[in-house]
Amino acid sequence: MAARSFVTIGLVGPDRSGAIAAVTQQLFRLGANIESLEEQVARGKFRMTLLASWAGAKLEERRIRAELEALAQHLRMKLTLRLADASRARRRLAVLVSKETHAAESILRAWKSRRLGAEPVLLAGNHPQLRSLARRFQLPFALIDYRDRQKAEASLQSHLEKAEVDLVVLARFMKILSPDFVWHWKNRILNIHPSLLPAFPGASAYRQAYDKGVKIVGVTAHFVTPDLDQGPILCQDALRLRPNEPLPSIIARGQKLEAACLLRALKLCLSRQLDIHWGRVHGV
């Protein structure tokens, strides 16, 4: 089979008639084949993710980027464009953190021991405490000031693009990403949530489960979507509670489960081409 080069294109901006046609016609003029396209319009906001391919191993990247950026500016939309580098043997990861280290450390230890078929290239967080973790694993650390979410996400997007990141992993990153940001990274953001989703979404999931008196608690690794904790599920793990087990013990045991489940989900993403549609991950 002849080699093909792939580009993922994201567009977000005010809804306007003819936006999809303008993009697809421009891609046709550039010689592209459209592999997949998904769009959404909500509250006057247009969002689209498109996968395009070109015959051959090399692209006229500058021309493609320049013409699509000019079109996006005409449409008054924000463009993201990511090229799949066929020569790159290992995918590049960004790990996002807040204050807890267990999930991030699990990934970074697997990487250092050569048990992970990917290359972490950036650790980013909204608190300075985990700068020491980045230093320990000799990774750059980006401190993201989240007092203004729009500015924070613009800064984060810039760091991800400069690092040429392929996949984003939320390793107990305790900030909600905006729908616009998520659409630019559709099916490229993994999260670990401390409950058996769809039960107990949102904050303080262990506390929610404890207050309800459940006998089994669990964790869920899933893709991030604009709807909080409702993305396609990759894997889940559970543990049975001991009689009268206190909440701190539940959390401590749950965190070990979180780390293992997130790492397993990441390895699934790296080891195969996943089929994601109708809100489900198929083939896992």
DSSP states along 187-256: T-EEEEESS-TTSS-SS-HHHHHHHHT-SEEEEEEEE--SSTT-SPEEEEEEEEPPTT--HHHHHHHHHH
Strand arrangement, sheet containing 167-170: 141-143, 118-125, 91-97, 167-170, 189-193, 216-223, 233-240
Q: Phi and psi (nearest 5°) for 272?
A: -155, 165
| 148, 166, 229, 237: the active-site residue | 229
229 is catalytic: yes
Amino acid identity for residue 162 in this structure: K
DSSP states along 136-204: HTT--EEE--TTSHHHHHHHHHHHHHHTT-SEEEESS--SPPPHHHHHHTTT-EEEEESS-TTSS-SS-
Task: Name every residue whose Cβ is closer than 8 Å to that of residue 95 and which is 6 or more positions away in sequence.
Answer: 104, 107, 108, 120, 122, 123, 124, 169, 171
Residues that are catalytic: 229
